[in-house]
C-alpha cells in the first residue's frame, strides 16, 4: 500500500472558525483597515437618507411634514432593538464560551445602543407632540422602549459596579439575556394591546409606505445601522488597544528594579 504524500489532516474542531475570529488580535487586524470605509459609508448613507427624506420625499397625506421625523425616529428604533439583540448574543457567547472579545463587544455595544435608544425616545416625543398633543403617554410601545433604555443603562452600570471584571461581565450578561424578553414586547405591543402608537408600517411581509417615502427611509436606516457598526467597532478597537497598553505598562513595572 502506498503512503500518501499529503500531510495528515487535523480533525476539525467544532466552531473552529468562530474561535479563530474571536481573537482580539485578529479582530484588530480586520478592524483597522475597515474603519475608514465603514465611517465613510455610514456618513454617506445617513446624510443621503435624511436629506432625501426631509427635503425631497413628499409629506404624509394625513400627518403632513411632521411625519418627516420618521426618517430619524424609525431607523433609530430599529437600530436600538438590533443593538440589544447583538448585546444579548454577545452575552450568551460570553457565558457559554467565555470569549474575551464577546465581553469587549458587549461592553462597547451598551453605550452606543443606549444612545440610539435615546434618539428614538426624543424623536418619538417630538413626533408625538403634534400628533397626540403630548410629548409622552404611557403607551405600550413607548413604555417598552423606555424599559429598553433602562436595560442598556443597567448593563453599563453593572459592568462598572464590580472591581472584578469577570464578575462584572457575568452579571451584565445575565441581565442582558433576561432583558431580551422585552424585544418581542416592543415589536408586538401594537398588536397585543390597543395603543396610540401606529402599527408596523414596514415588515418582512411587505410595506404600507408609498415607495417615494419608503426608499429614503431604507437608505437612512442603512446609514444608521452602519453608524452603529462603525461606532462599536471603533470602541472595541480602542478598548483592545487600551488593554494591550495597560498590560505592557504592568509588565514594565514588574520588571523595573
The pLDDT, as a whole number, for residue 21 is 63
Residue range 130-185, pLDDT digits in tens: 888 888 888 889 999 999 999 999 999 999 999 899 999 999 999 999 999 999 99
Cα of 114 vs its chain's centroid, Å: 9
> Which architecture characterizes domain 30-255 according to CATH?
Up-down Bundle (1.20)
The pLDDT, as a whole number, for residue 78 is 96
- In 3D, which of 65, 42, 161, 183 has the Cα closest to residue 107? 161
Element (H, E) at 203: strand 202-203
C-alpha cell at position 56: 425631497
The pLDDT, as a whole number, for residue 25 is 81
Burial of residue 103, with CB atoms counted within 10 A of its CB: 0-12 exposed, 13-18 middle, 19 or more buried: buried
The pLDDT, as a whole number, for residue 232 is 97
- Sequence spans of domains, the chain: 30-255
The pLDDT, as a whole number, for residue 216 is 95
The pLDDT, as a whole number, for residue 96 is 92
List all residues 6 or more positions away from 68 whose beta carbon is below 8 Å from its beta carbon.
53, 54, 57, 59, 60
Q: Is 30 left (phi over 0), alpha (psi -120 to 50) or beta?
A: alpha
Collect the ranges in the chain with pLDDT lower than 50: 1-14
d(CA 79, CA 129): 23
The pLDDT, as a whole number, for residue 63 is 85
Amino acid at each position: 500500500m502506498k503512503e500518501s504524500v499529503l500531510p495528515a489532516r487535523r480533525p476539525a474542531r467544532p466552531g473552529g472558525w468562530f474561535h479563530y475570529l474571536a481573537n482580539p488580535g485578529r479582530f484588530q487586524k480586520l478592524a483597522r483597515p475597515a474603519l475608514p470605509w465603514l465611517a465613510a459609508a455610514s456618513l454617506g448613507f445617513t446624510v443621503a437618507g435624511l436629506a432625501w427624506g426631509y427635503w425631497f420625499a413628499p409629506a404624509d397625506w394625513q400627518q403632513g411634514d411632521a411625519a418627516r421625523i420618521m426618517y430619524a425616529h424609525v431607523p433609530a428604533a430599529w437600530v436600538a432593538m438590533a443593538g440589544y439583540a447583538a448585546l444579548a448574543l454577545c452575552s450568551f457567547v460570553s457565558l457559554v464560551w467565555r470569549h474575551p472579545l464577546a465581553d469587549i463587544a458587549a461592553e462597547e455595544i451598551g453605550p452606543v445602543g443606549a444612545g440610539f435608544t435615546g434618539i428614538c425616545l426624543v424623536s418619538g416625543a417630538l413626533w408625538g407632540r403634534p400628533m397626540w398633543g403630548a410629548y409622552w403617554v404611557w403607551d405600550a410601545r413607548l413604555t417598552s422602549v423606555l424599559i429598553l433604555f433602562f436595560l442598556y443603562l443597567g448593563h453599563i452600570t453593572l459592568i462598572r459596579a464590580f472591581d472584578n471584571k469577570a464578575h462584572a461581565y457575568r452579571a451584565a450578561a445575565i441581565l442582558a439575556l433576561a432583558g431580551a424578553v422585552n424585544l418581542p414586547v416592543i415589536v408586538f405591543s401594537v398588536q397585543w394591546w390597543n395603543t396610540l402608537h401606529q402599527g408596523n408600517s414596514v415588515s418582512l411581509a411587505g410595506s404600507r409606505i408609498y415607495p417615494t417615502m419608503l426608499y429614503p427611509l431604507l437608505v437612512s436606516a442603512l446609514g444608521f445601522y452602519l453608524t452603529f457598526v462603525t461606532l462599536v467597532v471603533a470602541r472595541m478597537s480602542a478598548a483592545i488597544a487600551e488593554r494591550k497598553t495597560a498590560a505592557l505598562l504592568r509588565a514594565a513595572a514588574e520588571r523595573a528594579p
